[in-house]
Amino acid sequence: MTIDLTRSLLVDPGVFTIDRVAEAVEHYRTYGFVVLRDLFDESLMASMEAECVGAQQQVVAGELPERYGSTVFLDEEAKAEKFANYVEYVNELSPTVLAAATDPRLVALVRELIGEGCWLNDDTRFGVVYQDSRPGKESGYTRIGWHSDWQSAPNLDLWPSTAFTFHIDGTSPANGFLRVVPGSHRWATPAPYRNINNAPVPDDARPTGGWTDEAPPFAMPLGFEKIRGEIPVYTERGDVILHDAFLWHSAARATDDVATRRHVRGGYFTGDREGDGRREVFVKNAAR
């Protein structure tokens, strides 16, 4: 499938307010992502920031159970003793995060995108996660290579799904940003054949995942290589990105070593919630 980056995408790169639901849905279905602006006000974002930073400090201080802070996503696990890039299940620690993730306007849009029966992943597979992706010396994470979210569990009946990201900091080349390949959610992307972290692909994995049976026009890189047709998705503080689980995406590293890029991410899923505890691949790809 050849992606036509139309004038509308170049002029308005997927940014909509919640009162433009029909346009947001059309953009998401065409390109695989959408940015919602002005859904949350500054009061809510300030509360979310304070609660997430507080939970992050508690993880570092050892004041919370191990459930809330792990090293599974990190490149340098030893740095977790002094700094926490992640707070998992932050929805259990931050009332504001939970309120935002279950905001009726957001839920209504997600149901329009993936179905009425979708459910928030709040108690398995890391729940809703606070992520601090700063690139400084104390950080154990800076970016992650090309992947689609479904590749993390091609053996589970959870798809389709959509991921959400609440941006505490706006994004730019200075502090890092999301890279996407518009329309790649429509391709039948193969299950991973090899992972940077050597995670085995389950024997019962689906061979491909996507909205059509059309093969990708080129192979997905394991690292950070440039992909023909990719675009940056920049955000402002308070923006919400929704992206499809089949969309090819990666994170660009910050160019400013003292910049911060903090956000809250989670997902709505379909399918078998009870089977969610089965083994998954966890595609880490080339995170560094």
Indicate the pLDDT class of residue 203, thresholds 50, 70 and 90.
Answer: confident
Q: Three-state SS for 166? A: strand
Q: Which two tokens mark 140?
A: 């154990």
The predicted structure's pLDDT at residue 2: 45
Compute how many other C-beta atoms are within 10 angstroms of the C-beta atom of residue 286: 19
Report whether CATH 2.60.120.620 matches the domain 13-277: yes
Segment 132-161, tens digit of pLDDT:
988 776 666 667 889 999 998 888 899 999
- For residue 242, pLDDT beyond 90: yes
Q: How many helices and strands, by DSSP H and E, does the chain display?
A: 5, 13
Q: In degrees rounded to 5, what are phi and psi of residue 208?
A: -145, 165
Segment 56-112, tens digit of pLDDT:
999 999 999 999 986 555 445 554 446 888 999 999 999 999 999 999 999 999 999
Q: Which two tokens mark 116?
A: 């009425």
Q: Residue ranges of the domains in the chain?
A: 13-277
- For residue 285, pLDDT beyond 50: no
**CA distances from residue 199 to 85, 153, 209, 279, 282 in whole angstroms, order as listed:** 22, 11, 18, 11, 7
Residue type, 113: L
For the full predicted model, state whether its pTM sits above 0.75. Answer: yes
- According to DSSP, the residues that pair with 129 across neighbouring strands are 265
